[in-house]
């Protein structure tokens, strides 16, 4: 039977607890506590393969200010298993994720850092949705971060008959950041917070109370712990390790999707996007690609204005068309927005 040592500041142990009758020496308590503070990892008592050489440093200024620790890159047997699966058995998935990561992850990481959160949380979207805005689960979770509708509304996303902001990579990332921040403040542990994101905080809390444990790796081995969640956390950690150093795991050549380049306009209610695309000589598919949150090709008349991404360089043509329709019956006064890059 494997023995496990838990080195964590929340669960310090002393030698007199581990070995009955051992003399209670204060300096040993201090030494053990020092180790637990600097190595918050759950590791097996037996030796493991060396941790891959990666740069796990993150922008810690906001993290320290808000007392949020970095996401620990734990390397245990469960993580090893999923590294093997992704690097040897599901290489096509990894190549797709590597390609899409260049398009979306830099912006997502920036958004998370701005909220004082570990940027590595952005890799969750690979497991959640394969970085696809149109991903829909059997539980009707939608978008990059796979929000169900009640949770999306709870964190400020709009979901209605003409728009679903769960599909907007910027707005959904901001919402996910709020949710993850809340989960971390509740559980004070990133593996538990990730598990709660997957299975729900109430269900996780019940299992923690039942098994009297606040360690994810122990809970994940319980027979009543959801199998999906037991795999979810090590999958994320495995993907992070591979994505940080793809060549180490055999991914030397893969396609790269460059980030979208666009400008932003505020268009009035009643704007017909297909007509706008035709007047500006822009393929309508580009509008759809840049604005996946839109469910129709027309902005409702009752909307004062809507923030629309347009292909970079098309601003002059779009501005001219908007001026032409400014006084039309179907369009209220144009509110021109600042062009963003």
Q: For the ranges 123-127, 176-180, 223-227, 268-272, which has the lowest average pLDDT? A: 268-272
* Per-residue pLDDT at 179 exceeds 90: yes
Which pTM was predicted?
A: 0.76
Answer yes or no: are the C-beta atoms of 102 and 108 closer than 8 Å.
no
Our CA angle for 7, 9, 10, nearest 5°, is: 105
Average pLDDT of the residues in 279-293? 91
pLDDT score, position 315: 80
- Reported as a single tens digit per residue, the pLDDT across 295-339 is 999 999 999 999 999 999 888 888 887 777 665 544 444 344 433
At residue 67, the pLDDT reads: 66
Q: With b meaning 16 or more CB within 10 Å and e meaning fewer, what string describes 266-299? A: ebbbbbbbeebbebbebeeebbeebbbbbeebbb
Mean pLDDT value across the chain: 81
Percent of the chain residues past pLDDT 90, beyond the cut: 65
Distance CA 119, CA 202 (A): 26
- CA-nearest of 280, 236, 240, 285 to 260 is 285
First CA to last CA distance, the chain: 57
User: Over the stretch 47-58, which tens digit does the pLDDT of each residue have?
Assistant: 333 434 333 333
pLDDT value at position 150?
96
77-249 belongs to CATH 3.40.980.10: no
Q: Is pLDDT above 80 for 36?
A: no
Whether residue 281 is predicted with pLDDT greater than 90 in this model: the reply is: no
Bridge partners of 233, per DSSP, are none
Asked if residue 38 has pLDDT above 50, the reply is no
pLDDT of amino acid 246: 96
Segment 199-221, tens digit of pLDDT: 999 999 999 999 999 999 999 99
Helix, strand, or coil (residue 306): strand
Q: Is the predicted pLDDT of residue 115 greater than 80, yes or no?
A: yes
Domain residue ranges of the chain, discontinuous segments joined by +: 1-40, 77-249, 262-325
User: What's the whole-number mean pLDDT along residues 153-177?
Assistant: 97
Q: Is the pLDDT of residue 140 over 70?
A: yes
pLDDT attached to residue 107: 95
């Amino acid at each position: 039977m494997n023995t496990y040592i838990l080195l964590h500041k929340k669960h310090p142990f002393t030698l007199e607890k581990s070995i009955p009758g051992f003399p209670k020496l204060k300096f040993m308590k201090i030494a053990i506590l020092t180790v637990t503070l600097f190595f918050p990892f759950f590791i097996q008592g037996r030796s493991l393969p060396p941790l891959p050489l990666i740069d796990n440093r993150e922008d810690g200024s906001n993290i320290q200010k808000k007392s949020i620790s970095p996401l620990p890159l734990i390397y245990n047997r469960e993580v090893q298993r999923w590294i093997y699966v992704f690097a040897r058995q599901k290489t096509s998935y990894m190549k797709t994720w590597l390609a899409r990561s260049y398009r979306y992850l830099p912006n997502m990481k920036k958004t998370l850092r701005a909220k004082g959160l570990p940027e590595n949380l952005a890799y969750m979207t690979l497991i959640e949705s394969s970085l696809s805005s149109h991903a829909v689960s059997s539980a009707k979770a939608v978008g990059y971060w796979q929000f169900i509708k009640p949770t999306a509304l709870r964190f400020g996303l709009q979901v209605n008959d003409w728009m679903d902001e769960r599909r907007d990579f910027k707005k959904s990332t901001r919402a996910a950041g709020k949710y993850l921040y809340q989960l971390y403040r509740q559980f004070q542990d990133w593996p538990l917070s990730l598990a709660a994101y997957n299975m729900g905080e109430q269900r996780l809390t019940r299992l923690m109370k039942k098994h009297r444990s606040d360690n994810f790796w122990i809970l994940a081995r319980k027979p009543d712990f959801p199998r999906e969640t037991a795999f979810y956390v090590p999958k994320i950690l495995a993907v992070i390790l591979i994505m940080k150093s793809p060549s180490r795991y055999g991914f030397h050549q893969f396609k790269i999707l460059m980030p979208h380049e666009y400008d932003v306009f505020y268009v009035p209610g009643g704007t017909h996007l297909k007509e706008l695309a035709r007047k500006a000589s822009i393929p309508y598919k580009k509008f759809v690609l840049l604005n996946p949150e839109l469910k129709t090709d027309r902005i409702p008349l009752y909307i004062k204005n809507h923030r629309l991404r347009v292909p970079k360089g098309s601003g002059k043509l779009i501005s001219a068309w908007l001026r032409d329709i400014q006084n039309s019956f179907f369009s209220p006064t144009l509110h021109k927005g600042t062009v963003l890059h």
